[in-house]
């Protein structure tokens, strides 16, 4: 949705009606992943994509109907005998579900606009299937949560559901999620409430504390995946453009002081590679307190126990200490700096994708 938010805001400001279509699930192969959006105005404006073209003529037509009625719809597209393949079939043979809703100027939309301006992660939850039971949230009801803020929207106060709690867990995640909530104990098909959690994450950033030998390949690999990389190390002999040419920023200052100024949120990964208590503990304290999405540190398990004690002495909560990945990186038997960097970045990606 981030790639179409500017279009939505502009069209609404021009007095147009707007509908948004979102891919909420897929089976098999599909041109676009879950979370992809297409927006349409009643003047015929179109932005974004849900299928790279193969089902979009029908999606646009359905969106016009939703704009007129104001009633959201959940549609399924795939290859079946009942569908006209040439008109709305998926050429790749998969199946997608597309949720279409009318978008209006609301406090939730304004919260998303603010999150985009500030570069903060957000999650938007919406009911995409409802059994229509008494007191159950209605189709299309939503919740919006911006990192550092409080949830807004009808789902924020839905009884018996912790939609806000799940949204908080997904802040900064790279992938959306879907959850089902049985109503009144019923388990039959169609009896559960289904909520789609759309993750809106700004460009990812990686802060590397320590300009040692692992930082060089880690910076290069992270840049390949589109991360904005900042290397922080006050040692002028190490933190140089000649040694680390691919970094976006090289900062020759005390790490924890720099990190107090840097934007750190759920879309930020922090890798502490100094192996030096005077850098490690203060940097960890700031990264955890500011809510970095991923925090990892080099060192053995024995080193971790000693470090954890120092963090407790600094007043860091046990739940935050438990979030530290240490020893850093996935165990792939890495030995060389390049292999260790690969293991670290793989763990960062796995964390963002919600994989253990």
Q: Which distant-in-sequence residues (6+ apart) come within 8 Å of 81 by Cβ?
A: none
pLDDT of residue 174: 82
Residue matched to tokens 């208590």: 277
Strands 37-41 vs 18-27: parallel, antiparallel or unpaired: antiparallel
Class of residue 335 by CB neighbours under 10 A (exposed 0-12, middle 13-18, buried 19+): exposed
- What letter does residue 202 receive in the DSSP assignment? P
| pLDDT tens readout for residues 275-288 | 777 888 899 999 99
Q: Is the pLDDT of residue 187 over 70?
A: no
Q: Is the pLDDT of residue 201 over 90?
A: no
pLDDT, mean of residues 99-113: 94
Q: Which two tokens stand for residue 345?
A: 């970045």
pLDDT of residue 69: 94
Which of these, 204, 214, 218, lies nearest to 247 by C-alpha position?
218
Q: Any idea where the domains of the chain sit in the sequence?
A: 2-199, 205-352
3-class DSSP string for 203-214: CCEEEEECCCCC
What DSSP line would sit under 135-181, residue for residue? TPPPTT-EEEEETTS--BSGGGG-TT--HHHHHHHHTT-SS-EEEEE
pLDDT of residue 11: 96
Which of these, 10, 48, 40, lies nearest to 102 by C-alpha position?
40
Q: 161, 137 in Cβ contact below 8 A?
A: yes
Q: Is the pLDDT of residue 93 over 80?
A: no
Band the pLDDT of 17: cuts 50, 70, 90: very high
Q: 209, 230 in Cβ contact below 8 A?
A: no
pLDDT, mean of residues 212-238: 95
Q: Is the pLDDT of residue 86 over 50?
A: no
The region of weakest confidence among 182-191, 229-238, 273-282, 338-347 is 182-191
Q: CA-to-CA distance for 217 and 223, rounded, in angstroms? A: 10
Band the pLDDT of 238: cuts 50, 70, 90: very high
Q: 154, 102 in Cβ contact below 8 A?
A: no
192 or 122: which carries more pLDDT confidence?
122
Q: 43, 67 in Cβ contact below 8 A?
A: no
pLDDT of residue 196: 96
Q: What is the pTM of this model?
A: 0.77
**Tell me, which fold does domain 205-352 have in CATH?**
Rossmann fold (3.40.50)
pLDDT of residue 10: 96
The region of weakest confidence among 73-82, 133-142, 150-159, 160-169 is 73-82
Q: Which distant-in-sequence residues (6+ apart) come within 8 Å of 39 by Cβ?
A: 4, 7, 8, 11, 18, 19, 20, 21, 45, 46, 47, 48, 103
Residue matched to tokens 């603010």: 114
H-helix segments, the chain: 2-13, 56-69, 85-88, 107-118, 163-170, 215-224, 255-261, 277-289, 301-313, 318-321, 337-352
Q: CA-to-CA distance for 150 and 173, rounded, in angstroms? A: 18
Q: Is the pLDDT of residue 192 over 50?
A: yes
Residue-level length of the chain: 356
Band the pLDDT of 106: cuts 50, 70, 90: very high
């Amino acid at each position: 949705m981030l790639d179409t938010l500017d279009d939505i805001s502009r069209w609404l400001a021009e007095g147009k009606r707007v509908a948004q279509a979102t891919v909420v699930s897929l089976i098999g192969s599909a041109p676009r992943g879950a979370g992809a959006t297409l927006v349409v105005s009643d003047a015929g404006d179109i932005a974004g994509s849900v299928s790279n073209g193969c089902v979009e003529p029908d999606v646009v037509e359905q969106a016009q109907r939703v704009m007129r009625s104001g009633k959201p719809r959940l549609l399924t597209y795939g290859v079946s005998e009942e569908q006209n393949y040439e008109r709305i079939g998926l050429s790749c043979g998969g199946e997608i579900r597309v949720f279409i809703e009318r978008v209006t100027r609301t406090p939730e939309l304004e919260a998303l606009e603010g999150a985009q301006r500030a570069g903060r992660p957000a999650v938007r939850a919406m009911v995409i299937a409802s059994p229509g039971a008494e007191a159950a949230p209605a189709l299309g009801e939503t919740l919006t949560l911006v990192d550092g803020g409080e949830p807004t929207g009808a789902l924020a106060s839905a009884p018996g559901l912790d939609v806000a709690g799940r949204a908080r867990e997904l802040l900064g995640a790279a992938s959306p999620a879907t959850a089902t909530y049985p109503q009144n104990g019923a388990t039959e098909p169609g009896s559960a409430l289904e909520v789609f959690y759309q993750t809106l994450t700004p460009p990812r950033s990686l802060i590397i504390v320590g300009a040692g030998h692992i930082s060089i390949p880690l910076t290069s690999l992270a840049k390949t995946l589109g991360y904005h990389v900042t290397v922080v190390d006050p040692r002028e002999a190490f933190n140089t453009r000649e040694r680390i040419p691919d970094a976006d920023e090289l900062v020759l200052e005390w790490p924890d002081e720099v990190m107090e100024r840097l934007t750190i949120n759920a879309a930020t990964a922090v890798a502490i590679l100094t192996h030096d208590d005077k850098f490690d503990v203060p940097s960890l304290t700031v990264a955890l307190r500011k809510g970095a999405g991923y925090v990892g540190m080099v060192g053995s398990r024995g080193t971790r126990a000693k470090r954890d004690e120092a963090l407790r002495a600094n007043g860091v909560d046990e739940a935050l200490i438990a979030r530290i990945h240490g020893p850093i990186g996935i165990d792939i038997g890495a030995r060389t700096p390049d292999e260790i960097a690969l293991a670290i970045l793989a763990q960062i990606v796995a964390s963002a994708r919600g994989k253990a």
